[in-house]
Chains A and B, each alone.
Chain A
Amino acid sequence: MIELEGLTKRYGTKTAVDHLSFQVRPGVVTGFLGPNGAGKSTTMRMMLDLDNPTSGTVRIDGKHYRELHEPLKHIGALLDAKAMHGGRSAYNNLLCLAQSNRIPRSRVDEVLGLVGLTAVAGKKSKGFSLGMGQRLGIASALLGDPEILMFDEPVNGLDPEGIHWIRNLMKALAAEGRTIFVSSHLMSEMALTADHLIVIGQGKLLADTSMADFIQQNSRSYVRLRSPQQERLRDVLHANGFTVVEAGGGVLEVDGATTEKLGELAAENGLVLHELSAQRASLEEAFMQMTAGAVEYHAHGTDVHGGAAAPGPQWGATTGTTTGTTSEGA
């Protein structure tokens, strides 16, 4: 269990982390999501007592990090794959860490086997590929067999096989009842691994929710309709109690309906349909909308929040939403 309370980090006038309070619970993978520069790494470094918070506290199993007796036995972290001495062998890099926390030498061999680096244990780590470095970093996190594991962007720069391996490892570790806290800037990655989600933007907490709830609340599903008899179609839909949104370009969007139901309705009324399709806004879009106001580095000249979920309302014939009670064309 990790508890953050009002955690704040300011660099001069810039606030990197702004009064963050949340808990990371055991037995699940908690995803820590936010755009680049949202303050994820800073938060994680403060959790490990590497950076000093401006204010607020972090407690690991109820204790401050510095009060932990042999911290590697409580919490293991992968912050930066290259955070090892390149001139030292993989084995010796792990050995000096193990010794500092009185972890037996045999455990070094064990974790090297676990991450599949036994064959290169005696090689200097500066010759390692990104994937191997990442595995070595994970080996160091697992060294003390800790109850809490923290990974900062673990899949960054990995090949598909490495990504697959890390996903399964995190799930397996959570299934053993451990606390897994993993950061990412990719919603799609989180959707595959995380059970719980903490979203931050510009250092502020935007969401603290289960993955299932997040998906339910944020992935709007709707039916898209186009018809040459748009006016009549709209009236029919209104008359049947559907909420219709005009999306511009002759497109109508209907929430909370099935294509079957709407198709039958059109047929009963003898209406021609040019399009009838089920649509689902992706989680990535939901995430981008959530963090839209909190993106640190906008790409210039491109609409980063474009796509199906956010059609520009400026070209729509009417306002974005139309209620079903108005009936002007009967």
Chain B
Amino acid sequence: MATATAVLQSEWTKIRTVSSTVWTLASALLVTVAMGAALSALLSSEFDNLSEAERLTFDPTLVSFSGTVLGQLAMVVFGVLVVGTEYSSGMIRTSLAAVPQRATFLFSKIAVAGVLALLVGLLTSFLSFFLGQALLGDHGTTIGAENVLRAVVGGGLYMGLIAVFSMGVTAMLRSSMLSLGILVPFFFLVSQILAAVPKAKEVARYFPDQAGSKIMQVVPGALDSEKVPYGPWGGLGIMLLWVAAALLGGYLVLRKRDA
């Protein structure tokens, strides 16, 4: 048995020695923070033009996380590349010859990349929140307000889980291009569109991103959005089930298929 600590160290070296790690994680942070700031500034100035329902359910915390919709795509790319380049480069054979225990190999890789994504996610989340609140001014909230800290920490968790989910899916599909081709349109278009279509949204609210992102809401039914039959932690739980399923699927494929 290759020792887990040795494999973790090896996977950390793999992640820190490729440039895609820096640019995907930096993009995730910058895009999320910048877009969140822009929307916070916009809504702050347009607050009086909002409908009454929207004003009553105004959720300044969620507004500062508006950039997540776009920034999460960079997290998807990070997650896909961490696993996918093993296959596209042919490195997978060298890696598995060095660490033949499939579970040790895959879960060490995902643990290292997942923790890194989580840390960047938390940083992104706190930056987005404080910058957003500063720009919202009078309409903003504080970190000490009820449920706000949960939503901010949850925003970081959400980003990390999106990356881990992408890693699991890529381990199943064994290809960066295929995984990106499915995950990016799914999170950016399919999920968003279905969530707005009557009937379809009853299903769409159980999608990993739709369910998981509820953790970032402080006001239930924020900004006059649809009410869902689960709470913020329930939503994150649904997302966790998706992540667990993706990881299990990825592991089974790695164990069964020829490298």
Q: How far is the CA of A88 from the CA of B3 in the complex (A)?
A: 24
Q: Which residue in chain B gives the minimum CB-CB distance to A100?
A: B10
Q: How far is the CA of A86 from the CA of B13 in the complex (A)?
A: 15
Q: In the complex, which range does the number of interface residues on chain A fall in?
A: 20 to 34
Shortest C-beta distance, B221 to chain A (Å), equals 46
Contact assessment for B259 and A101 in the assembled complex, using a CB-CB cutoff below 8 Å: no
For residue A251, CB closer than 8 A to chain B, the reply is no
Known: A80-B90, A83-B90. A100 touches B99 (CB 8 A): yes
Shortest C-beta distance, A78 to chain B (Å), equals 10
Contact assessment for A85 and B85 in the assembled complex, using a CB-CB cutoff below 8 Å: yes
For residue A280, CB closer than 8 A to chain B, the reply is no
Total chain B interface residues with beta-carbon distance under 8 A = 30
Please, which residues of chain A bring their CB within 8 A of the CB of B85?
Answer: 85, 87
Contact assessment for B91 and A83 in the assembled complex, using a CB-CB cutoff below 8 Å: yes
Shortest C-beta distance, B175 to chain A (Å), equals 16
Shortest C-beta distance, A302 to chain B (Å), equals 34
Contact assessment for B13 and A83 in the assembled complex, using a CB-CB cutoff below 8 Å: no
For residue A92, CB closer than 8 A to chain B, the reply is yes
State the majority secondary structure of interface residues on B: helix
Chain B positions 77 through 99: 1 when the CB is less than 8 Å from some CB of chain A, otherwise 0:
00000000100011101111111
Please, which residues of chain A bring their CB within 8 A of the CB of B1?
Answer: 69
Which of A72, A84, A87 lies in contact with B19, CB distance below 8 A? A87
Known: A50-B258, A85-B89. A70 touches B14 (CB 8 A): no
Known: A50-B258, A99-B9. A71 touches B17 (CB 8 A): no
Known: A50-B97, A51-B259. A99 touches B10 (CB 8 A): yes
For residue A8, CB closer than 8 A to chain B, the reply is no
Interface residues of B in 1-54 (CB under 8 A from A): 1-3, 6-7, 9-11, 13-14, 17-20
Q: How far is the CA of A61 from the CA of B259 in the complex (A)?
A: 23
For residue B101, CB closer than 8 A to chain A, the reply is yes
Please, which residues of chain A bring their CB within 8 A of the CB of B89?
Answer: 82-86
Q: How far is the CA of A71 from the CA of B91 in the complex (A)?
A: 16
Please, which residues of chain B bring their CB within 8 A of the CB of A48?
Answer: 93, 96-97, 100
Shortest C-beta distance, B43 to chain A (Å), equals 40
Please, which residues of chain B bring their CB within 8 A of the CB of A45?
Answer: 93, 258-259
Contact assessment for A89 and B91 in the assembled complex, using a CB-CB cutoff below 8 Å: no
Which of B3, B6, B14, B100 lies in contact with A65, CB distance below 8 A? B100
| Chain B contact residues, CB within 8 Å of chain A | 1-3, 6-7, 9-11, 13-14, 17-20, 85, 89-91, 93-101, 256, 258-259
